[in-house]
């Protein structure tokens, strides 16, 4: 049983560019959350998707947007990248008992 | 005041020691408490998931929640070098159905 998978694992962008990160939840999980983890910090909640709709959102600007597909996979898009967007972006799928399982993350470097 | 406070460490212990990791939180409405282990450059791995106050044991790991003092702990018995990682505490109102609020993590090093 595959866990949460994310792609790409690493990427480098320049300021002002746009990036798309992808996530497939664990088999049977229909709810996906995205978190941003800056170096030396704990993850911070960006948003959560269920039934292809954004259900909750954290304190992130509109430059951060997402999408969920009918097969429950999800994308995170970040526009107009800033240096401060450099971080590990984590996708998590929601287990049946409320547990949150994370993927290995996509490490974004903005130059 | 931060919602969750966690000593960043690093905490260095010899192999076989009992490790105590702690967090304090400010919001008394939190009902679910979690501990994650994160190896360098990897995603967080769920270790313990508990509801309300009390203890929960899983192998060498014991999670303890004291809601009256807003204090949660993770104890690791017979620590191993493979336990060397960053340990993150997290709280939420209803598990993963709501956003998790994480501490900054405590770095643990277990030396042979």
**Chain A contact probe: residue of B21, B48, B99, B103 with most A CBs at under 10 A:** B99
Name which residue leads in pLDDT, B41 or A72.
A72
pLDDT band at A1 (very low <50, low <70, confident <90, very high): low
Residues in chain A with CB shorter than 8 Å from the CB of B103 are: 42
Closest Cα partner for A84 from A7, A4, A13?
Answer: A13
Nearest neighbour of A105 by CB, restricted to B36, B43, B101: B43
Mean pLDDT to the nearest integer, A49-75? 96
What is d(CA A74, CA B40) in angstroms, rounded to the nearest whole number?
A: 25
Cα separation, A97 vs B94, whole angstroms: 10
DSSP state of A25: P
Per-residue pLDDT, B8: 86
Q: State the count of interchain CB pairs (< 8 A) between A and B.
A: 68
Residue A55: φ, ψ to 5°: -95, -35
First to last CA, chain A: 37
SS3 content of chain B, % helix, strand, coil (to 5): 5, 55, 40
- In a 13 Å sphere around the CA of B62, the CA atoms on its Cβ side amount to 9
Provide the token pair at B66: 């004291």
How far apart CA A110 and CA A28 sit, in angstroms, is 34
What pLDDT does residue B95 have?
Answer: 82
Model pLDDT for residues B26-74, shown as the tens digit of each residue:
998 899 999 999 999 899 999 999 988 889 999 999 999 998 999 999 9
Instruction: Provide the pLDDT for residue B7.
Output: 87
The answer, yes or no, to whether residue A47 has pLDDT greater than 70, is yes
Bridge partners of residue A19, in order along the sequence: A78
């Amino acid at each position: 049983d595959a866990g949460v998978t994310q792609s790409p694992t690493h990427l480098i962008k320049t300021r002002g560019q746009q990036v798309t990160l992808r996530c497939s939840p664990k088999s049977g999980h229909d709810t996906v959350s995205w978190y941003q983890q800056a170096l030396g910090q704990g993850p911070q909640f960006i948003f959560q998707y269920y039934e292809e709709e954004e259900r909750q959102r954290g304190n992130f600007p509109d430059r951060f947007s997402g999408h969920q597909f009918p097969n429950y996979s999800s994308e995170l898009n970040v526009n107009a990248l800033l240096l401060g967007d450099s971080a590990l972006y984590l996708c998590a799928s929601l287990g049946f008992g409320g547990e949150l399982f994370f993927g290995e993350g996509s490490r974004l470097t903005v130059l | 005041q931060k919602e969750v406070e966690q000593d960043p460490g690093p905490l260095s212990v010899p192999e076989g020691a009992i490790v105590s990791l702690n967090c304090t939180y400010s919001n008394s409405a939190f009902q679910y408490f979690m501990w994650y282990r994160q190896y360098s450059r990897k995603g967080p791995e769920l270790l313990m998931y508990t509801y309300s106050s009390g203890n929960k044991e899983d192998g060498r790991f014991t999670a303890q929640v004291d809601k009256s003092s807003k204090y949660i702990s993770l104890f690791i018995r017979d620590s191993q070098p493979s336990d060397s990682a960053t340990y993150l505490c997290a709280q939420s109102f209803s598990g993963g159905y709501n956003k998790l609020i994480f501490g900054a993590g405590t770095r643990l090093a277990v030396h042979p």
